[in-house]
Amino acid sequence: MEKIIGLIDAPFTPFYANGEVNYEPIEAYANMLVKNGLKGVFINGSSGEGYMLTEEERMRLAEKWVSVVPEGFKVIVHVGSTCVKSSFRLAQHAEQIGAWGIGAMATPFPRIGRIEELVKYCEEIACGAPHLPFYYYHIPAFNNAYLPMLDFLKAVDGRIPNFAGIKYTY
């Protein structure tokens, strides 16, 4: 699996004053990131307010990013949700549109309190896009999943073939 070398940005999602997603500035945003030497984006995560968006908005946002970036620029799509079926669907969509990878943080509800629950949650999502690298987004301040990541790494070994690493924000 290709390793990420360089900086990946977690861009904000632009909105209109009425709360609707504004897709128009994304191309200029992507061009600015490329010009400044970044190697990719991690969209629809906490900075991108993915949990506040509908599935359709998240998919359209991913489509827009994938369509405007140059070849080789990595688009990693956060697909986590409180509904594993939605996460699976978002993962499938990311693979279908040509995203470079996917990621998911632990669901804030219901709270995940054991390593085995976290592995199962990630496994169910990652298999939606089996050909894309899957990153677990560890951000316990948002979801109370204060679990030891070394134990998670040991437990996930061999269970998720496309597991690529942890986006560690703790």
Residues noted as catalytic:
137, 167
Provide the terminal-to-terminal Cα distance of the chain, rounded to the nearest Å: 25
Rg, Å, the chain Cα set: 15
The Cα 128–Cα 47 span in angstroms is: 23
Closest-CA residue to 75 (of 55, 53, 46, 97): 97
Contact by Cβ (8 Å): 50, 10: no
* Identity of the residue numbered 131: H
Angle in degrees, CA 67, 142, 40, rounded to 5: 25
The Cα 137–Cα 168 span in angstroms is: 6
